[in-house]
Structure 1
């Protein structure tokens, strides 16, 4: 009996230790992790109007994604802080905890979802072809055969162009650029016959540059959805963002932001 008492003490201690570890794990799962207290730090490639870009008059970041993240941060009791990051380094930056989330017109894909978690979709888009206004022979993807196509490297426009080559056998030359503005400039200057980019970006470019660009839609490009990317070790933040995103959609705030940038 004397030997049994110490054994019971040991067992009790082990049980308490196990409970404490489980509690710590649960707290870790429910605790929102932030790079900087008081701020929701957002990684974004701020060269993609109308989603994120720099206002030439004020020098401030603006756009649909910017307004959306400011509203989400406000409802979380935080201030949005934006980190301008080149597209090819944007996911590595999140993984190394340079910012809490990515909001940068990022399409939800299976490949990206292996590295990060995504919020519920917040925007629907699809790829389109954009050419110079005087180029009349390009009216669908098959007309890109033998043409030079500009894309932003690592985007779904890049993936779509590569898929046209690999799966449809369209003999096009892909020119990859660091940003969409550079891809559009290549089209304007005649260094590329066309570009493949997101539809809303293409239509804004055509509207702001009358007589310069022409947009070509194709059923070959399926709808795609943007999501806010969060580190996989931060499930509480993802849950909160989805909660706030739902509120914003239900109370009409999302529509207000959308109409500001894209019209009704």
Structure 2
């Protein structure tokens, strides 16, 4: 299953030779990250070091563009406004490309595609799809406000009421998954990237049920009009063309087991 999901993650991009990439001459780029969305970016519990797919991808981009990356950790709900206001040069945390967000920030070309899935406990038997979850008023969903899973939960699973008490709000995605595991909520919506990783790491404690609820594209974000967008887009195309993104998918979605 993880292999099938991983096959969907990389988007086709036009080939671009490394020598054609712009040289940013060591320019410092301040990047906002949440470090709370494994396996894209998170703090390794063993070493205390931030790691993940996005860190590896951005390290490759920085090397090829000759730019120096400085990371700043920021809460999800503050990230887009902070980047929009120019407090940071760039942001990454599995950010879905959406028209409403594009009014505030510029997006890079998509670097990953994932499909929304329903993550539940391994012994869940009360529902097996979105309709049966919605039909039981005693069931709760965990979500991080302002995220794609939150809006999909509100508008595609429940009744379109963003204040619906059946949605328990959490500061981070990881906190919502922990609440799922302890029984405080019954469902967490997530993209297949994180969902498959959690299933693989929990030895049956979590599983995915129901049909996929659509696809989403991820991109890096920048202040409107940023001159970094074109170079980063060119680097993303190069990473796709030479197989680097495919290698990162293998590393983080097939070989890596979260929690080990």
- The TM-score by the shorter chain falls in which range? 0.7 to 0.9
Given candidates 237, 243, 260, the residue that maps to 2:228 is 237
Q: Secondary structure at the match of 1:178?
A: coil
Deviations 1:87-137 (A, max 9, x none): 000011112323211111000011101111111111011211111111112
What is the aligned partner in structure 1 of residue 142 from structure 2? Answer: 150
Native 8 Å contact 1:153 1:179 kept in 2: no
Distance 1:162 1:255 in 2: 33
Are residue 111 (structure 1) and residue 112 (structure 2) matched? no
TM-score by length of 1: 0.80
Given candidates 156, 159, 163, the residue that maps to 1:166 is 159
Q: Is there any run of 5+ residues in structure 2 with no aligned partner, and where?
A: 1-22, 256-260
1:1-264 correspondence to structure 2 within 5 Å: 38-145=27-134, 146=137, 147-163=139-155, 164-166=157-159, 173-219=166-212, 221-234=213-226, 236-263=227-254
Q: Secondary structure at the match of 1:126?
A: strand
Q: Is there any run of 5+ residues in structure 1 with no aligned partner, and where?
A: 1-31
TM-score by length of 2: 0.81
Give the number of aligned pairs. 228
CA RMSD of aligned residues (A): 2.3
Relative contact order, higher structure (CA 8 A, sep 6+): 2
What is the aligned partner in structure 1 of residue 9 from structure 2? Answer: none
- 1:172 Cα deviation (Å)? 7.5
Distance 1:210 1:118 in 2: 36
Native 8 Å contact 2:106 2:224 kept in 1: yes
Q: Which runs of 4+ in 1 moved over 6 A?
A: none
